[in-house]
Each structure stands twice: as C-alpha cells, then as structure tokens.
A = this chain, B = another copy of it.
C-alpha cells in the first residue's frame, strides 16, 4: 500500500455486478488516482477475489466498518440498498457517488455529468452525488454541448435500448431466446417468435429476440414508464432547464450493449448543421461520425466498449429551422454507468486533493 500513500481511499460498493465489473476495468485504466481501493458487495459475495489494477483484491461484506476511512464511495446497488447505506457512508465522512435512482431527483443531491455540469458536484449538502440513468447519459453530453451554444427548448426522444440495461438477467434472456428461435421460420409467420420463446421472457414481459418491446421500467401516471420519466426529469436537472419540454418513448431492442437514441432537438433560434457539426466535433466526450454517403453513422456494434457519446445523422429539420435531428449511441455500461461514476469520483478526488 505504500505506493498509494497520501492518495484518497475509494470504496466500490456493488463491485461484483455487471456495472461493477466494468468499473474495475476503468479503475485499472486510471490506476494512479486512488490510494486503497476497497471492494464491497453483499455478504454472499464476500471472500471472492477480483482483479483491479493488476492485483487480486478480496471482496468484503457491506457494513459500517467497511465504509470507515473511505474518502469516496461509488455505489452501484439497488435503490433500496443505496437509500439505506449511502447516508451511512456519508455520515462516516465519505463522498458518495451513487448510481441508483434513490437520490437523483433529491434537490440536495447534485446530478452530475462532468462534461456538462462539473460545478454542480461541489455543492452536496447530503454528501451524495448522483450518477444519471444510462439512457439519459447516452445522449446528454452531446445535447449539453449543443445547448451551451444554441439554447435548448424541446426534446423528442425515442430509445433503442440494449438488454444489458436490465442487468445480466437481460443478457441471459436474449441469449436463451436467440437459441430458441434459431430453428424457426424467424418470424415470417404469425406467432413464430412467440411460440419459440414461450414464457421465457425474463425481465422484459415480451420476447425480445427478433422483436422490439416498447417498455422499460415500471408504470408511472398516465401510461408513462419510469425510464421515460427519468430521461425527462434528469435531462432538465442536469441542463438546469426545469421547464424543458421533453417527450420520450423507451423501447427495448435485441442489442446486448449500447443504447441508441433518435433525438429531435428544438432550440431558441435558427441553427445550422455546419455549426452543430463543429460543436459536436470538438466537444469533449463526443465523437462525430457522420458521413452516410460513405456508410458512416454510429451503430452499437461499433460503439460497444468505447467511452464517448457517438453522434451521426446530423440534419436540420426540413420544416423547422430551429430543430436538429440526431442519432446518438453510448455504451450503457461505460459512459452510461461505470465511466461517468468514475469521472465524478475523480472530480471529487481532485477537489479533496486541492483542499
């Protein structure tokens, strides 16, 4: 541990989950920032060893003691666990970076995307900073850059969400369904897919192989899904636009990793594609990949495993000079979860180091 002397101690709470594993990869790539890295999970995972920064680290059970002496604690656990334990970590002096939905809309908890609103992370009355939902994160860096210049007024968003957004159960369900449909007529006849898949719908309630499912999350008022409400509420909070008009429809597609979104973004005044492309081409955390004549536009198969938000199909609406159309892809496990949390934690570490 001598090499880490003087550097802040990091706890990863939920280290064994799908996002936790990606987190350990990212921490290994950013190896020089942290002192001790403590891996914490549920009691049933305690004693397992996971590799981080090239060394095996034993997972310890979540407890008050495990959260002691921690400078920054990254949580990736279910909402109810975060609700219970994040305040415990904060009370013991840690700054908590939480990836659950438990605190995102709490007015005393900042919701931070380092490329968009890094300043917000400095004011954290509860000692907690929230990480946005993966769907919001898949588009918000690009939209933040455009908003800074053009002033955003309205968003109409449709998602093409990967099954890993529903965790390992989502990935396993798609894998199982693909093997079940492999011997069928592949959905050219009524009922093909449903007959093949039977009741094996996992977390999706409908078959997701060879299908698209217009639902993600749980039911909210007036027919909206929780996922759709998150994209609206979180976009408003991150951009500091409490009255932003946002209409979202979330749809699950048979893609393993990377969320894609179509975005119709209306601004305060007239926009040009030329200037929009300049902004996107130079914005930190954004890759502009947009030359359809050469077959260039982002797709999940290209974007998986990468850090940035990829943007293509940039067009000005033909009938509204104030609106742009975009197709956006982001890795829901990296920028959509682990990477953004790590970036927030590094922001906090830099601030703590400067004190």
Chain A residues in the interface with B (C-beta under 8 A) = 154, 156, 158, 160, 164, 171, 174-175, 178-179, 182, 186-194, 197, 205-207, 210-215, 219, 222-225, 232, 243-247, 249, 251, 253-257, 260, 262, 264, 273, 290, 292-293, 295, 297-302, 304-306, 312-320, 323, 325, 327
- Of B182, B223, B243, which is within 8 A of A313 by CB? B223
Can you list 30 A-B contacts (CB < 8 A)?
A: A158-B158, A160-B160, A164-B188, A174-B186, A175-B186, A178-B182, A182-B182, A187-B300, A189-B304, A189-B305, A194-B301, A206-B302, A210-B254, A210-B255, A210-B301, A212-B253, A212-B255, A215-B292, A215-B295, A215-B297, A219-B292, A222-B315, A223-B290, A223-B315, A245-B317, A247-B264, A247-B320, A249-B313, A249-B325, A264-B264
Residues of chain B contacted by A325 (CB below 8 angstroms): 247, 249
Residues of chain B contacted by A312 (CB below 8 angstroms): 214
Residues of chain B contacted by A298 (CB below 8 angstroms): 214
Q: Are A187 and B251 in contact (CB under 8 A)?
A: no
Residues of chain B contacted by A174 (CB below 8 angstroms): 186
Bound-state CA distance A243–B319 (Å) is: 8
Bound-state CA distance A294–B221 (Å) is: 14
The chain B residue with its CB closest to the CB of A18 is B188
Q: Are B257 and A206 in contact (CB under 8 A)?
A: no
Minimum CB–CB distance from A4 to chain B (whole Å) comes to: 30
- Of B164, B175, B232, B257, which is within 8 A of A318 by CB? B232
